[in-house]
Amino acid sequence: MAESFGARVVSRESVLNAERLRGELIGLVRNDWVILCDPDEILPHGVEHAALEAIEANPRLGLIGVPIRYFFRGHRLECTEWGRRGPKFFIAHRDRCESPPYVHAGLEPRPGFERGVIGEGDFEIEHRWIDSLSQMIEKHARYLKVEGEARHARGDRFSWSAAGRATWGCLRGNLLDHGGLAAGPTGWFLSAFHAGYTALAWRSLRRYERGPN
C-alpha cells in the first residue's frame, strides 16, 4: 500500500525491540522532521497542523510530544500507570535528537534543543496497546530478553534491595496512586502484572551483569 503511493519501503530482519532500528531508519529519510508511529497507534486528526505551527514558532524545537491514551482489550484505560502515561514524544527532527537502541528508551533532544507538547486538552493518540492476554504475555516476554541490557545502559545496577523496592513501589503506585485498587479486576490484574514484570526485569538485569555464563 505504501509503495502504491510512491513511498520507499525498507525491509529489515525482525528484532526484539524496534528501538534497535530506529536510529538507522531515521537516517534514511529525506525530510528534516520524522513521525515515528507504532502500528497499534491511531494518530488524532489535526496533529500535523499543530506540529507545523509548533515547528514554525520555535527554531530550537527538536522533539514534539502528543498526549497518549492506552487501550486494554478494547477499553480505554483510566487506572494504573498505563492509564496515566504522559505525552509520547514521537515527532522528531532527525539531526536534533538522540535515539538510544534500548527497549523502552525514548527519543532525547540533543544539547541546545527542546521538547514541546501539542494538543493538550484537544486531542490524543489512541494506543491500542493490548488486544488479548496471549498478546500481552508474548509482547512482554520478548521485552524481557533485552530489559537487562537496557537497564544497565540507563545506569541501574542489580541489588536485592533495589529490586524489592522497585517491585513494591510499582505495585503500591499502581494500586493506590494510580487508581488500580478502585478499578476492580482490571486494575488489580494490571497492577500485579506490572509488579511482576518489574521483578522479572530486575532479574534480567542480574543475568546481564553475570554475563553469558
Regarding whether 161 and 104 lie in a shared domain, the answer is no
Residue 117's SS3 state is strand
In one-letter notation, the amino acid at residue 78 is: E
User: Predicted confidence band at 115 (pLDDT cuts at 50, 70, 90)?
Assistant: very high
pTM: 0.90
Sign of the four-CA dihedral 51, 54, 55, 60 = negative
DSSP state of 96: T
pLDDT tens string 53-83: 999 999 999 999 999 999 999 999 999 999 9
Regarding whether 105 and 82 lie in a shared domain, the answer is yes
Distance CA 31, CA 162 (A): 43
Regarding whether 162 and 108 lie in a shared domain, the answer is no
Regarding whether 159 and 57 lie in a shared domain, the answer is no
pLDDT tens string 137-184: 999 999 999 999 999 999 999 999 999 999 999 999 999 999 999 999
Residue pair 38/125 in contact by the 8 Å Cβ criterion = no
Summarize the confidence of residues 186-210 as an average pLDDT: 97
Place of cell 541546545: 112
Regarding whether 182 and 202 lie in a shared domain, the answer is yes
Regarding whether 139 and 123 lie in a shared domain, the answer is no
Count of domains in the chain? Answer: 2
Regarding whether 96 and 9 lie in a shared domain, the answer is yes
Summarize the confidence of residues 24-41 as an average pLDDT: 91
At 55 the pLDDT is: 97
Place of cell 478494547: 74
Distance CA 169, CA 182 (A): 18
Distance CA 121, CA 149 (A): 37
DSSP state of 113: -
Task: Tell me how crowded residue 117 is: count the other CB atoms within 10 A of its CB.
Answer: 15
At 92 the pLDDT is: 96
At 213 the pLDDT is: 52
Residue pair 124/67 in contact by the 8 Å Cβ criterion = yes
At 33 the pLDDT is: 96
DSSP element (H, E) containing 38? none
b vs e for 47-66, b when ≥16 Cβ sit within 10 Å of the residue's Cβ?
beebbeebbeeeeebbbbbb
Distance CA 124, CA 4 (A): 29
Distance CA 64, CA 56 (A): 12
Structural domain ending residue among the three candidates 71, 102, 127: 127
At 54 the pLDDT is: 96
Structural domain ending residue among the three candidates 127, 145, 164: 127
Summarize the confidence of residues 40-52 as an average pLDDT: 94
At 211 the pLDDT is: 87
Mean of the per-residue pLDDT values of the chain: 94
Residue 98's SS3 state is strand
Concatenating the DSSP letter of every residue in 143-161 gives HHHHHHHHHHHTT----HH
Which domain range does residue 121 map to? Answer: 3-127
Regarding whether 136 and 110 lie in a shared domain, the answer is no
Structural domain ending residue among the three candidates 99, 127, 155: 127
Regarding whether 109 and 17 lie in a shared domain, the answer is yes
Regarding whether 196 and 154 lie in a shared domain, the answer is yes
Distance CA 141, CA 136 (A): 8
Regarding whether 97 and 113 lie in a shared domain, the answer is yes
Regarding whether 110 and 140 lie in a shared domain, the answer is no
> In percent, how much of the chain has pLDDT > 90?
84
Whole-Å CA distances, 109 to 17, 65, 95, 100: 21, 12, 9, 11
At 121 the pLDDT is: 85
pLDDT(185) > 60: yes
